[in-house]
Structure 1
C-alpha cells in the first residue's frame, strides 16, 4: 500500500485476494493494532481489518488514562499492578506527544474508602511494584495542602490526601499512532471492512477470512496462516462465526463519562475520589473542560453506539455533588458524554467493579486465536504475549520470528530522544510556525502538541494546492493530513477520533462541520447523495454524544 489513505485503501483492496499473510488480525482497536505492530516487526506478513474506523470502539471511549490500576491492589492483583504500572512508563517514553504525566489527588476522608495509613502504604507498594521514578513517587498531603491543590473538595471529614502520578492520554490518537507505526513497518490495514466468515483447510483449521467492504458492499477472500480475533466487545460475535468455545464468556461493562465546561466546574487538579456507593471516580481537567467518570454497569445493548441514559448522567452528577458540594451542576451543564463497553472475562458471583481486567487468550478447535479482556495500559505487553504464541506455532511449521522490539520502539510522532524534549520542542517551534504559515500561535501550538514529530508532515500541505473553502488553514492542514496519512474516511473519523473535538470542543465542531464535509466531498469525490449521507451520519454521532 503506497499511502495510509483512502486511495491506498482502494489500491490494497484491488489486489488483496492475491496476497497470503502469516497473520490476519480482526479488530482495529489498541489491542489489534498493537498485535499488528509486534507481529510485523518480528518478520511476519500482517493484515489488520476493522469493521468501523480504527479505535471506534472501546479504544476511543476510555477514561483516557494510561494508568497502573491502583484500585487493583485492593483486589490483591499484585501481578497486574506490577505489569501495567511498568508499561505506563513504556507508553510514555515511546509516545510523549499523546501521553502526559498527571499528578492525581486521592482525598482521604474519615470512614472513606481509603484511610490515611492504608493510602500511604498502598501508594508506597504501588510505587515499588510499578517501578515509579523518584520524582514521581507518592506524597502524603495534609488537609490544608490538599485544599490548596483543589479548593473545591468537600471539607467535612477531610483528613488529607495521597498525591501520585498517572498518565493522561488521548486513547484514539494513541491507537492511530500505533496503527501508523505498524503501517510504516509494512502492515496492511483496512478500516470499514467487516469480517463475515472463515475459510477452512482440509483439516478444519481456519485458513482464510471472508470480509465485506461496508462502503461499497464488495466481498473479498484473503488467506492467512494465523487469524487473531481482537474485536473487543465483539469477540463472542466473531467466535460465533467460527465455533463456540465452551466455558468462556464475556461480561460487557458500560462506562460513561461526562464533560463540563471549566467555567462551571473549574477543577485545578485531577482527583480520584469516592462515590456515595463506595466506588471510585476520576475528575480530570483538560483544555478548559472537566471530564468525570466512569460508571460500571452490566450492558446488553448496541455495541456500536452504546446508549447513555439519564440515569448514567445522574449517577455522575450525584458523585460530583458528593465530592464537590459547592458546585451546583445540572443536566443542562453537560456539554457532551461518551460511553464505552469494556469486554471483561465473566467471573461468576462478581459484579462489574469486582471483575478482573486481566486479559486471556483463547484458542478454538479450528485454530482461531481470541484475545479478550485487558487494559489500554497493557496493550503492548498483551500484543507481545499473543505474538509469542503465534511465533511458537509458526516455528513448528518452519517459519521463524525475531524477538519483540516494541518495548523500545518510538511510535509515530513520538520520535524524541527523551520524553522531556517534547515540551521544549513545542516551545521552540510554535512561534516560527505561526509566522511561517500565518496560522495563530494557539493553532501552531495545538498542531505541535497533537502531532509531535509528525508536525512537518502536517505542515507540508501548506505548500500544496488545497481546495478552496472557507476553512482556516489550520483546519485544512490537519484535515488533509488525516485524509492522506491517517486513513480518515468520514467526517466523524476526523471530528471524533483524529481530533477528539466532538467530545471536548463541540462548539468548534458545529461551527466548521459543514465546511469540513464539503471539503472532504471534493477531495474524495463524493456524489451529492454520499455527501448528504456523511453529513447525516456526523450529525447522528454528535446527537448521540451531546
Structure 2
C-alpha cells in the first residue's frame, strides 16, 4: 500500500506548486475523491485539494446507507432509481468491508404513506429497476410477521410490511478507502488546503491557488481541466469564477440522533412514516440505535452545522409516534450529527420533494462543476464527469480511455466476490488473536480494514501497550496516521473510527491519552495541542448539548 501520511503530504505540497496536471479537483468528499479515482485510472495526472479533512462535510454526515431511494418512485424519478439502484450492487461488490446488506422493514398502516398494494407494486418495480438479485428481492409480510421482525412497532392500524434490502455503510470510511485507492493509482490528494482563487490565461481557467490551512503557504496547481466538487460550497467557489445564470443551489439540513439500545432496543432496521408524512430511518448499529433524517431548508454555517433542540425534538416525537412503548427523552440522546445536502433548486417544491439528481455545469471559463447527487451514485457521477473531460481532451490530441471503476475494488476490498469477505474475516480474526488481541478487537480489525489487515498485523508486531494507551488504540492511531492521512485528533475520532458518533463514552475515557499520542507523533507544540483540544471539545459539545 502507498504511504498516505502527513510526511507524504509535506512532500506533495512541495511537488505540486507550479506543476501541470491533466485534472485538478477542488473538493475531497466522496464525489471529488471518486472523480480523482476515475481520472487517474484512465491515465490522467490528478491533484485534489480539500479545505477540511477528507469527507469533512456531507460525506461523513449522511444516513450511512448505500440505498436506491425507494421514495423517489413516488416522484416518478424512474431513471434515477434505476441507475442508483444498480450502483448499490457495484459499490457493494467493490467494497464489501465497508458496505453490508441490511434488510429493511417498511411497516404498512391504514392511511399511511404507502398502502399494501402500492408498497408491493413499488418494491417489485424497485427490484426490477435496480436489478436486485433473487435472494434479496422484496417480500411482503403479514401483520404478525411484521411484529415478529420488530415488536416495538405501533400496532394500531398496522396491516403488514414490506421487507427489502438496502446496504449499510460507513460513509466516511468509504470515502477514505476510495481515496487510498486513488493514491495507490497515482493521484495526489491534499487535505486542509483551501481553494483561494483561480488562475486564468486568455479568459480560460488554467489552475487553482490553494492555501495550506496549517502553514498559510500558497500552492499553484495548474490543470488542463479544473473540477469543482465542493458540495455545499459549490456556489461560493463558482462565484470566485463566474456566476452561472439560472443555476442555484438549495441547501437542506438532515439530522440524525444516536440512542443507546438500553433505551431504544431496536432489533430491525425500519423505514417508517412520521405523523407529518415524511419518511425516517431507524437503524440498530453496534449497541446503539440511530434515527434520521430531517429535511429542512438551511441558511447557516456550512462548515459546522448542528442538530438544534427543535431538530432533536422532532426525531424524538417521530420515535414516539412509531414506537409508542419506547419512552425516550431528549436527555437519552448520546450524540447527533447534521449534514447539508447541496440540491439544485426547483421552484414550487419543498425540501423533501426536490430531486437528488446530479447535474454538470460548465462555466464560460471552462470550470466544470458537479452538483446534487447521492452517496450511492458517487462512482457513476465521477464516470459522467470524466467522460466529459476525456472527450474534450481527446479532441486536443490526448488518448484517454473509458471508465475502469465499475469493477475496480477499492482499498481493502480486494475480494473476488463479497462472499469471500466473511471467510477472510474469520481467518484474519484468528491471526489477530494470535498476536495478542481480544476476540472483539480482532473482529473489528479484520472486518473494518478488509484486505488491508495484513498491514495492520505487521504494524501490530511493532507496537507495544503503554500505561496510557492499550495496544489496540495505538495500532488504530498508527495505521490512520501512516496510511489514511490523519492530521489531527478529530480526523481520527470522527472520520476514521466514527467513535465520537457511536461511542462517545469511549472517546471521553481515552481522549487525553489519544491527544498525547498524537502530540508525540506529530511533535506538536503547546499551541497546537490546545488548538486540537478546543476543536474536539467543540465537537463533543455540539453533539451532546441541547443547542
Give the TM bin, normalised by the shorter chain. Answer: over 0.9
1:94-493 alignment, distance < 5 Å: 94-202=94-202, 204-436=203-435, 438-464=436-462, 470-493=468-491
Structure 1 length-normalised TM: 0.98
1:518 pairs, out of 516, 519, 524, with 516
Structure 2 length-normalised TM: 0.98
Is the CA contact 2:464–2:471 (under 8 Å) kept in the aligned structure 1? no
Q: Distance in 2 between matches of 1:467 and 1:283?
A: 38
Relative to structure 1, the CA distance from residue 351 to residue 507 in structure 2 (aligned partners, 3 Å threshold; closer, same or farther) is same
Q: Distance in 2 between matches of 1:379 and 1:206?
A: 25
Deviations 1:360-404 (A, max 9, x none): 000111000000000000000000000000001111221121111
Q: Distance in 2 between matches of 1:491 and 1:544?
A: 16
Partner of 1:76: 76
Shift of 1:3: 2.5
Partner of 1:87: 87
Q: Distance in 1 between matches of 2:537 and 2:437?
A: 28
Shift of 1:465: 5.5
Is the CA contact 2:283–2:289 (under 8 Å) kept in the aligned structure 1? yes
Is the CA contact 2:145–2:160 (under 8 Å) kept in the aligned structure 1? yes
Deviations 1:499-546 (A, max 9, x none): 000000001111111111111111111111111211111111121122
Partner of 2:10: 10
Is the CA contact 2:33–2:179 (under 8 Å) kept in the aligned structure 1? yes
Shift of 1:483: 0.3
Q: How many residues align?
A: 544
Shift of 1:81: 0.4
User: Match of 2:271, SS?
Assistant: strand
Q: Distance in 2 between matches of 1:26 and 1:469?
A: 42
1:502-541 alignment, distance < 5 Å: 502-541=500-539
Is the CA contact 1:254–1:341 (under 8 Å) kept in the aligned structure 2? yes
Q: Distance in 2 between matches of 1:96 and 1:2?
A: 21
User: Match of 2:17, SS?
Assistant: helix
Is the CA contact 2:205–2:226 (under 8 Å) kept in the aligned structure 1? yes
Moved more, 175-184 or 522-531: 522-531
Q: Distance in 1 between matches of 2:3 and 2:445?
A: 21
Shift of 1:457: 1.0
Is the CA contact 1:2–1:8 (under 8 Å) kept in the aligned structure 2? no
Which runs of 5 or more residues in structure 2 are unaligned?
A: none
Shift of 1:480: 0.4
Q: Distance in 1 between matches of 2:37 and 2:313?
A: 40
Deviations 1:222-244 (A, max 9, x none): 11110000000000010011110
Partner of 2:27: 27
User: Match of 1:241, SS?
Assistant: helix
Q: Distance in 1 between matches of 2:467 and 2:5?
A: 21
Q: Distance in 2 between matches of 1:64 and 1:340?
A: 11
Q: Distance in 2 between matches of 1:166 and 1:428?
A: 27
Deviations 1:215-267 (A, max 9, x none): 11111111111000000000001001111000000000100000000111000
Deviations 1:336-374 (A, max 9, x none): 000000000000010000000000000111000000000
Moved more, 422-431 or 150-159: 422-431
Shift of 1:433: 1.3
User: Match of 1:338, SS?
Assistant: strand
Is the CA contact 1:193–1:214 (under 8 Å) kept in the aligned structure 2? yes
Partner of 2:43: 43
Is the CA contact 2:44–2:400 (under 8 Å) kept in the aligned structure 1? yes
Q: Distance in 2 between matches of 1:314 and 1:64?
A: 21
Shift of 1:16: 1.5
Shift of 1:427: 2.0
Is the CA contact 1:469–1:519 (under 8 Å) kept in the aligned structure 2? no
Shift of 1:43: 0.7
Q: Distance in 2 between matches of 1:431 and 1:227?
A: 47
Which runs of 5 or more residues in structure 1 are unaligned?
A: none
Relative to structure 1, the CA distance from residue 466 to residue 11 in structure 2 (aligned partners, 3 Å threshold; closer, same or farther) is farther
Is the CA contact 1:28–1:231 (under 8 Å) kept in the aligned structure 2? yes
Is the CA contact 1:467–1:522 (under 8 Å) kept in the aligned structure 2? no
Is the CA contact 2:30–2:59 (under 8 Å) kept in the aligned structure 1? yes
Q: Distance in 2 between matches of 1:388 and 1:469?
A: 54
Q: Distance in 1 between matches of 2:178 and 2:465?
A: 29
Relative to structure 1, the CA distance from residue 2 to residue 166 in structure 2 (aligned partners, 3 Å threshold; closer, same or farther) is closer
Q: Distance in 2 between matches of 1:461 and 1:31?
A: 31
Is the CA contact 2:83–2:130 (under 8 Å) kept in the aligned structure 1? yes
Deviations 1:110-131 (A, max 9, x none): 0100110000000000000000
Shift of 1:430: 1.4
Is the CA contact 2:463–2:471 (under 8 Å) kept in the aligned structure 1? no
Q: Distance in 2 between matches of 1:101 and 1:90?
A: 13
